A and B are shown apart, each in its own frame.
Chain A
């Protein structure tokens, strides 16, 4: 290896070892259930949240069904078994017992937390024009811009609030996309979910602003079980942003969220995620386990678009999917997944084409560094009715270093002769030529790598809303500047 490469490698090492910027803990008194999982715990969660009988029954049914299920082991990840009885299933900041009506009433320490993350609610309210439903642990703390949204008829609130105020909508759509027995982690979520967001866009309404939720996992030993439900009624449009960071911890924290999207005829939902949860230290100790089920159903002429930038979590197990039920519906998936240290990601998408003339596009960019493992796992299924259905898939992997892994597992199942499926995958490293060209022009290696990686991800970044594109770019830079394969 040349001395130049050695220099670059030491640079790479320095960056890879850099500490997690958002690693801090906020001290807020919590009203936490003791660890353990049983029917009583579920009853307690339900009672604490004052839920109606039907929801408690729904949870119990999910729990009983879940007990018969087995943890899946097909993903290309390895981790010690999670002791679900060591997790506390409910934790709410104490000050929540009297729900704050405005930001002024919010615990200043919470606000401080957001400030450290660079997302002060006040400023966001004014500058970005984004309504924020911030989830701190399991209960929504502050919801802004409500009145403006109410004007448009948009419902944007926590799911517990929606259970009380819009029971008919929740009852109709909860579990309609991800049934309570869908998979092991979704089943667990259905039984014990504590909070999350609920969005309803009425017929023909274009949501006046981008909706956003910031998640934080705070209380140690508290699994996070959010449940998000977004319903876009006929002809409506909504763009939803989800972003996450988490404080540094030494024990693994389980996160098993469920996100359900319903795009009724002619509706469009754009769901963007920037995920930067604590990935653990160099050996993966202490990171978040992110086992998420995300799925949307697109009815006639509807469109669902998933965009994700994944840089965090010790283990990611996530397949945002679209069921293209209606004719002419469209599904999209754009993803950048970056792993370093001992991170493991098994992520991808499923596009289930049921209707005629359905179209889907998948663009997945995986970047692995250090000792990490990064797998794309996707399914494209053309059903027997999917006349003229069309899919295009591209997954590219970039490897930085010779100890990481990049894998591709694309399942393609076609049952209609007029359906067309294309899949392409490539694997490469940052080429010496590209690096040389940049350095020759006086660009330092750190910047050069960052440029090349950004170029590699460009197709995905351009799909992100402005607010997120900036954050995503910064995240990648922090993680990978100076990386040379």
Chain B
């Protein structure tokens, strides 16, 4: 790609996005949402090199023309099964044959207008939406079996898909949701997931992003805690050609609690950018975030964790911890834990570290006959294991352990230090 192409990229992306949105197949149920999103998109600017929120992530890979066409492809036959109930979206469209839902959960094919979406990609998602999935959990229903939602992207040329999932937990309901992103091929998944929790609702949420290295992902995850609710979210993410996750949480009722745990790994030229923003808008809410990042080879891992405490949000407890490991030279970690506080009666803390594996620990393992590569893998695993161990769902833990072991394994051509 020429330099000029990259320089004009924000305008090109916008033109293309607007064009796509206007040409998209009309869908009756989504029409009002699409109109609004289109207006927002018209007024939005796509990020360029100087956009602060995109400081560490370049959209250069999109010069391959992912926005030029929609992804067309078939889902692989053997899709993983992590729970009893499953819902499959292929390139953003619901695959009804593979869908089964438990009692108390209603499937809808519409989408709401969402406050709190801010990125042009999220606007584009709404403006060009051709299908959407909404899950309503009935009041006072305890859905004991987890529901797995598979977002599959498939295609063999640079293309994109918009995928949208909304989950509403009515008062007193309880749900385990496993969101899994799978994909192969140069497809950009432009995702929006929005979760709303009413009083006494409890959600356990998993986000598993293990798509192939050549895939791309730009997505927003929105938590709206409109009731005294609790959300526990576990996010396991591998970098790929371009991965950008915006997570935004609104704690809008006193007593709401949000716990987010994440592991992100960027190896072999892959890229992952996490932008977290927790908004404490009312008094007496609690949020707790624990993230662990690893980067190796030429990988780049980014985390920006913002805690915003609005005026009047007294009695807030908010914490963020982000520890990172750099595995080899050439990799990069950029982290920025932010606090924005407009209130004195709060307890807030954040901590961030970037470091390397302890040489003494490596030596200890080596002295017991464990090869260096294996020792490194073990220690890296130890660094994130705390989070894996705390996964409440056994099926997810069983999936996560081998995945992580593979992600953290020695790479060919990585630094072969003298053992």
Contact = CB atoms under 8 A, between A and B. Distances in A.
Among all A-B residue pairs, the 4 with the closest Cβ atoms? A399-B344, A417-B326, A408-B339, A485-B344
Contacts of B330: 384
Nearest to B348: A427
Interface in A410-436: 410-429
B373 to A, nearest CB: 15
Contact of A408 (B334, B337, B356): B337
A312 B340 CA distance: 22
A153 B109 CA distance: 82
Q: Quick one: which of A384, A417, A418 has the most chain B CB within 10 A?
A: A417
B332 interface: yes
Residue among B345, B349, B352 with most chain A CB within 10 A: B352
Given A417-B356, A427-B346, A427-B347, A409 B328 contact: no
Contact of A412 (B311, B328, B334): B334
A423 B337 contact: yes
Given A411-B336, A414-B332, 6 more contacts: A399-B341, A400-B344, A414-B354, A417-B327, A419-B355, A421-B352
A420 B325 CA distance: 9
A339 B335 CA distance: 27
Nearest to B344: A399
Interface string A450-485: 000000000000000000000000000000000001
Contacts of B338: 407-410
A402 to B, nearest CB: 5
Given A402-B314, A426-B349, A420 B356 contact: yes
A257 interface: no
Interface of B: 52, 311-312, 314, 324, 326-356
Interface in A394-411: 397, 399-411
Residue of B332, B341, B354 with most chain A CB atoms under a 10 A cut-off: B354
Interface of A: 74, 76, 382, 384, 397, 399-429, 485
Given A408-B337, A416-B326, A423 B353 contact: yes
B72 to A, nearest CB: 39
Given A424-B351, A427-B347, A418 B356 contact: yes
A11 B246 CA distance: 45
A414 B333 contact: yes
Q: Is the interface of A mostly helix, strand, loop or mixed?
A: strand
A420 B353 CA distance: 7
A427 B345 contact: no
B343 A410 contact: no
Nearest to A405: B342
B341 A421 contact: no
B413 to A, nearest CB: 15
Given A401-B344, A425-B349, A420 B337 contact: no
B314 to A, nearest CB: 7
B209 to A, nearest CB: 23
A405 B353 contact: no
Contacts of B334: 411-414
18 contacts: A76-B340, A399-B344, A406-B339, A407-B340, A410-B337, A410-B338, A410-B352, A411-B334, A412-B334, A416-B329, A417-B327, A417-B329, A417-B331, A419-B326, A419-B355, A426-B349, A427-B339, A427-B347
A239 B349 CA distance: 34
Nearest to A397: B341
A427 B336 CA distance: 16
A425 B351 contact: yes
Contacts of B347: 427-428
A424 B328 CA distance: 25
Contacts of A409: 336, 338
B130 to A, nearest CB: 38
Nearest to B336: A411
Given A403-B311, A420-B353, A412 B340 contact: no
